Structure formats: structure tokens, C-alpha cells
Amino acid sequence: MSEPTPATAPTATHSMKAPAPAKYDFFGVVQGYLDEAAKLINLPEYIRVILSQPKNEFIVHFPVKMDNGDVRLFKGYRIQHNNVLGPYKGGIRYHQDVSLDDVKALAAMMTWKCALMNLPYGGGKGGVKFDPRSVSRGELQRITRRFFHGLGDNIGPETDIPAPDVGTNGQTMAWAMDTYMNMTGQKGRQAVKGVVTGKPVASGGTIGREKATGQGLVHCITYWANENDFNLEGSTMTVQGFGNVGSHTSVILSKLGVSTIAVGDHSGYLYNPEGFNPHKLQEHVKKTGAIAGYSGGKAISREEFFKIKTDIFAPCALENQIGVDEARSLNCRIVGEGANGPCSPEGEKILLEKGITILPDVLANAGGVTVSYFEWIQNKRSESWSLDEVDERLEKAMRRAWKETTEMARSKKSSLRIAAYAVALHRIAQVYAEREIFP
């Protein structure tokens, strides 16, 4: 039994505590980019103000019966940022650090991404705050079903269309679609397949969606290489995050002769100067959930990872991974942002000063939502496209967005990130100008 605490103790103990580190203001960072791009294109102030906050913010608390009989209460978010171009669209994240502000930032970025890609979608994002690795498959299914039940008809194929993100995948989307179908009347069931995208192909998904984000990033890297006379064949890459985006980027680039020499994830970092076999590593991660235990590389520290000389660095994990220290360490030609928001503004500044090109997230990882759009169309029309058709359409969409972004950057002398925001804002501003404000 513990000793009774003297009345003065709490104050003393409290004062000895180290101050909690300031939380990264991800939403503030994204707002900063919006303000910068708005200034660049003289966006009418009322549109900037509208876009500075999400339209709707849903927070749901829902109970789930765990395998041991305990009932645990979960907190889930769905943020609907803007729908002036079409239904809200964006992923669902399962992670222990999910917070309202982060989901707001990610939802806003989806608005810019969909507008940049000329998709008939607005921006949304959601998440549930828990570690998906710490629960059983049965628990994961019940959490998913209760979350989507909690969201109810605040989502829907013409309203708000979720997709996978960190910690979720095709299986999660199959459960989500099935839950939504079961909340829909018998007659309407088959018409609501498009309530989520990123589904497994047999459950109404599209061929080519799983690799789509990595594929889009590879397109951007290829355009950059062509415009800069850089030979990808024989070049090197390091990748942080070896999940959906990171592993597919590495696999697809390997076919172009790019060797992945270092990888990292939540379990640690590995180095192999001869180059990893990305297929084998991808298989290992699919089986075990992490790169840890893979025999083909030497364990290194996070600090060592960021110092490795490489041609391409692809951050494909989480936001705020490249701060001042990491940016100072990085020794590469380009940073291809597979992840959303991997560079902090301070980190970005250092990278740009060092002459490193950043392929910004809203452009570089837009392949995923673009192929999600293809999936949604196929669901609407009861069609199944071939991989060639999906790939061809994706390449065309990425090429157009690349061209518009690089032209904007050249004409306005801005970074590629602010240029991508500016192209997106142009499109949104035109619609506001035409529709004006209700009533």
C-alpha cells in the first residue's frame, strides 16, 4: 500500500515535471500554406476565410466489446473540410496519435489535392485514436463497424467518401462498406458500393488502387528526372515508412533501375548499400507488420538513416518527420512526399536552401485519390476497367497536374508546394465566383 501523500507534495512533484513538448501545429502549418498561396494569386479574402476552417467536424464516441469481455470506449473523427467541387473525399486513419487538429489539417489538404487533380470532390479526413496493432482482427472489425455505424448517414456515396490511410486498408474498407450497406434499406443496398473506395477488387474495388499512390509518386519522380536530365537507372533511394505508399513506391521504382538502400518504419531502420529486394521486403511486412526481423539489411539508428547519401528520399510515413535536424542531415537530390505533411516549414526551408527539390504531397501522393475516383465511377456504372486503362488514365491525370504546378511555380517564382496550392485555389475560387454565397 502506498504512503499517504502530504498535502504539499502535489505541488512539489508537479514543479519537478519536465514541460510537455509543444505539439506540432499541423493544421496551423497547412493554414500557413493556404495564406501564402492565397496572397500569390490574390484570392478574394472571403474565400480564404471560408477555406480557413472545415465546414463540419464530427466527433463520435463509441463502445466496443473487446475479446476479454471488457467494453472500451473509442473516439473517432470525421472532418468535412469543403464540398464546393463535390462530395467530401479522404482517408480514415487508425493511429494512437490521431487528433482533431491533425485530421483537420489532413482534410484541408484533401480539398487542395482533389482540386489540383481536377476531381469532382471536396476534402475530408477521418480517424480513430487507437493503435490498430494492439487489437485482434475481430476487435479491429468491431471497431470499424461501430465507427462507421456512428458516422451514420453523415457519409455516403454522394456525400462523403472515405478511403484507406495509415493503419487502414482494403479489408477495413470492405467492413466499412458492408456496415453502410446494412444500414441502407434493402432496395438501395447495391447502389451504395461507392460509399468508400480502396476496397478489395472482389468487393467492388478497382484494379490498380493499391499501388496507385506509389505509382503517382513515381510518375512525379520520373517527370522531374526527365526535366532535369537525371538518369533514374542506377540511382538510389531511401524510404521512410514501408506500408502501402512506401513499399509500392520502392517496388515500382526498382523496375526503373532505382535501388532502395535504406528503409525505416515504426519498428526501426535498416541499411543495405547493395540495395534491398523490395518485393521480398514488402512480403515480409505484409506477413509480420514491420520491417523488423528482415534479414537483408543492417540495423541503423534514425539519425544514421537521415545522413545516408542518396538520390531520392521518399518520406512515406507520417507528418512532421523532417524538421531542422533531419533537413540538415539529408544528403539527396529530391524529396518525394509520399506522406502528407512530412516536412515541417523549418525543415522545408533548409532543404530548399540546400538546393533539394521537394515534390509536394498534394501533388506527389495524389495518385491514390485519383484512382479512388476511378473506382467510384466504376461503381456508379457497374463497370470493371483493366489495369492498362486505370494506369493510362492515372498517368494522364498526373502529367496534367505536374504541368500546371510546374508552370505556376515558374510564372510566380514560388516553390512547387505553394504552386500546387495556387492551382487548386484557382479552381475553387472560380466556382465560388460563379455560385456566390447562399442565400
Residue 338 binds ligand NAD (CB under 6 A): yes
Strands of 71-82's sheet in order across: 56-65, 71-82, 123-129, 88-95, 160-164
User: In angstroms, what is the minimal distance from the CB of 265 to ligand NAD?
Assistant: 3
Residue in the block written with cell 509520399: 338
For ligand NAD, what does the binding mask look like between residues 157 and 196, x meaning CB under 6 A? -------xxxx-----------------------------
Q: Are 55 and 87 a contacting pair, CB within 8 Å?
A: no
Residue 244 binds ligand NAD (CB under 6 A): yes
Q: Are 261 and 236 a contacting pair, CB within 8 Å?
A: yes
Distance of CA 359 to the CA centre of its chain: 14
The C-alpha cell at 278 is: 523490395
Q: Which helix (H) or strand (E) holds 315?
A: strand 312-315
Query: Interface residues for ligand NAD in 55-94 (CB under 6 A)?
Result: none
Residue closest to 125 by CA, chosen among 138, 112, 116, 140 = 112
Residue 242 binds ligand NAD (CB under 6 A): yes
User: In angstroms, what is the minimal distance from the CB of 340 to ligand NAD?
Assistant: 4
Sign, CA torsion 277/280/284/290:
positive
Cα–Cα distance for residue pair 330/313, rounded to 1 Å: 8
Of the residues 55, 89, 113, 125, which is catalytic? 125
Angle, CA of 247, 250 and 256, to the nearest 5°: 150
Query: Interface residues for ligand NAD in 348-377 (CB under 6 A)?
Result: 365, 368
Active site residue 104: no
Which one of 126, 241, 278, 347 is in contact with ligand NAD (CB under 6 A)?
Answer: 241
Residue 409 binds ligand NAD (CB under 6 A): no
**280 CB neighbour count, 10 Å cutoff:** 12
Nearer to ligand NAD, 96 or 190 (CB): 96
Sign, CA torsion 331/336/338/341:
positive
Q: Which amino acid is at 404?
A: E
Stretch touching ligand NAD by CB under 6 A, among 25-33, 47-55, 74-82, 310-318 = 310-318
Residue 107 binds ligand NAD (CB under 6 A): no
User: In angstroms, what is the minimal distance from the CB of 267 to ligand NAD?
Assistant: 7
Cα–Cα distance for residue pair 439/437, rounded to 1 Å: 6
Query: Interface residues for ligand NAD in 248-267 (CB under 6 A)?
Result: 264-266
User: In angstroms, what is the minimal distance from the CB of 271 to ligand NAD?
Assistant: 15
Residue closest to 294 by CA, chosen among 267, 274, 313 = 267
Which one of 340, 370, 405, 415 is in contact with ligand NAD (CB under 6 A)?
Answer: 340
For ligand NAD, what does the binding mask look like between residues 213 and 232, x meaning CB under 6 A? x-------------------
Stretch touching ligand NAD by CB under 6 A, among 15-23, 71-79, 332-340, 420-428 = 332-340
* Residues annotated as part of the active site: 125
| Site of interaction with ligand NAD (CB under 6 A) | 164-167, 213, 240-246, 264-266, 316-318, 338-340, 365, 368
